[in-house]
Copies of this chain bind each other. A is one copy, B any other.
Amino acid sequence: MRQSLHTLQIATAGKGLVEITPRIRPWVEAQRIATGLLTVFCRHTSASLLIQENADPDVRADLETFFEDIAPEEPGRYIHDSEGPDDMPAHLRTALTQVQLSIPVAAGRMALGTWQGVYLFEHRSRPHRREVVLHLLGE
């Protein structure tokens, strides 16, 4: 049994979903672990992780709209607004999704379903640089 650690740097372009499966997959496969567990961890409180459909981009647009509605940028709605109107909504959107995902590895690959992609969900309006830690354990 052995383990590997790696940190991805993901550049975002403001609010929305960035698919990171193509960043994770080659690293996992390069570790040559046949069976194991991959953990993906987002080191932020205003960006999160989501496994979602990787086929139709409209799904990402609808997800963004949904989270805009459920945690709206509204002056006076939140006490915490030190970094602007998108600050507290970003924390709420993070709370409602995940900052960590663990995915079994089988036959050397992530055991994702056919339509599943791994996404970094940026919740701030401006572009950010995000750190995502990958931990793989297995043999």
Contacts and interface: CB of A to CB of B under 8 A. Distances in A.
Contacts of A52: 45, 91, 94-95
A22 to B, nearest CB: 18
Interface residues of A, number: 57
B36 A45 contact: no
B37 A137 contact: yes
Interface in A1-28: 1-3, 5
> How many copies of this chain are found per oligomer?
3
Interface of A is mostly: mixed
B102 A100 contact: yes
Contacts of A133: 104, 106, 111
A43 B116 contact: yes
